[in-house]
Amino acid sequence: MTSWNSSFPQKRTVSRVLTASAGERLRTLRELFGLTQIELSRLSGVSQAWISKLENNDGDPGPGMLELIADATGTPVKFFDVSPSTVPLDSLRFRKTASASKKMTKRIHALYGESYRVTEQLVQDTYPAPPLPFATEDELDQEQIETLAMATREALRLAPDKPVPHLTRALERAGVAVAPISLTGPGGETPITSGKHFGVSYWGGPGEAALIGYFTGSGDRDRFTLAHELGHLVLHTFRPRCADPEREAHQFAGAFLLPYQRAVEEFAGRLTLTSLAHKKAAWGVSIQALIMRAAAVDAIDEPRRQSLFVQLNHRGWRKEEPVTVGHEHPLLLWKLLSQRYGDKPYRLASDELAIPPAILRSIAPTPAPTGPATGPRPGRVTQLRRQPLGQHGR
């Protein structure tokens, strides 16, 4: 039987593990900024040998050396004393390509762990815990995933048969924090690319904080990534060792963004790339994802699916599709920060939350001055700018 929770807990208790050693926290700091021991040594003036010894719990974490490192990286000294995140890092779920760099994955682990720790502190006692459903069976079939996707729409208070107007805001209203992932250096240097990573998420279950992190891309890719990571929260929080979590999360994302009955109606008749482009404008879902969804509800057979992808390649639409989906911008973490620390919160909040300001600024960016007008508006269908459909790949 597929299970989901129906309560809406209003208060959560943050559990903590024992404080990590100064060496473990130093290693985490290096990974946050993507620094080698030699690079950190050059930046701080602290010897690489001392850094190595401390990270191996074989050195004296005297305050003088840690203060030099803290000053050089713009990090509060409290960072080295704080309890680490309660996230079991082997439980993190990623949306990434098979060739994604292990080094980059390790860095994202560190950034996500610190982001989750901060999220727990910000939402504790101030924001409702997510009322998400959750699966418990060993195996799930497509029908069960469709059912859970519909239950998730209900939990997020979304219409059962209409496009999701603003997925980010729907998640945040339900208590699921959303954070853009931006890998910056100690001085807030220009962020580097994701290394073929798209999203990462974790939820501890009912009453616990949930955080979805994502690397920004096109508007439709971001929406699919958020839906994919939402699928991980619903499907895999209590099924961590299922056979193919990525396939299930993809199925969930399609079912969540375009529910089954509407999909059957939308895909009735012959599908063409032009008709799919118009459906992309209505639903905020990429043409490629729509093709996969059409196949999932048996609206097209395998030869037709393959034919449509061949046509996509021929037109050059696999890399750049027509129809621009507006970007969605998270607000929850920024609102919680500014309510507690004012409209210029980063310096003050970074000390209390024991996190470098550059990292805090990246996960809770200040909203653009123009506000919601720069992107999709909550409560309305995502605004889409249509490009001429015949000008790609010629």
pLDDT digits (tens, 9 = 90+) for 31-51: 999 899 999 999 999 999 999
**Helix or strand holding residue 384 (H, E):** strand 384-385
Beta sheet of 93-96, edge-to-edge order: 93-96, 197-203, 210-214, 176-180
pLDDT of the residue at 352: 94
pLDDT of the residue at 248: 96
CA distances in angstroms from 302 to 58, 251, 307, 314, 392, listed in the order given: 59, 17, 9, 18, 25
pLDDT digits (tens, 9 = 90+) for 50-83: 999 999 988 777 779 999 999 999 999 999 999 8
β-strand partners of 384: 325
Residue 15 confidence (pLDDT) above 50? no
Structure tokens at 278: 């118009």
What band does 19 get if pLDDT is binned at 50, 70 and 90? low
User: What is the residue-wise DSSP string for 188-217?
Assistant: -PPPBP-SSEEEEEEE-STTS-EEEEE---
What band does 98 get if pLDDT is binned at 50, 70 and 90? low
pLDDT of the residue at 189: 61
The model's pTM is 0.86
Which backbone phi and psi does 183 adopt, to 5 degrees?
A: -90, 95
Identify the residue whose tokens are 């249509």: 386
pLDDT digits (tens, 9 = 90+) for 196-220: 668 899 998 999 999 999 988 899 9
Identify the residue whose tokens are 């005297």: 62
- The fold of the 11-84 domain, in CATH, is 434 Repressor (Amino-terminal Domain) (1.10.260)
What band does 384 get if pLDDT is binned at 50, 70 and 90? very low
pLDDT of the residue at 387: 42
Residue 3 confidence (pLDDT) above 90? no
User: What is the residue-wise DSSP string for 80-106?
Assistant: GTS---S--GGG-EEEE-TT--HHHHH
Which residue ranges does the chain devote to CATH 1.10.260.40?
Answer: 11-84
pLDDT digits (tens, 9 = 90+) for 250-287: 999 999 999 999 999 999 989 999 999 999 999 999 99
Mean pLDDT value of segment 131-153: 96
pLDDT digits (tens, 9 = 90+) for 103-112: 777 888 889 9
Going by the DSSP 8-state scheme, the letter that residue 343 receives in this structure is S
Residue scoring higher pLDDT (251 or 382): 251
**Helix or strand holding residue 251 (H, E):** helix 245-257
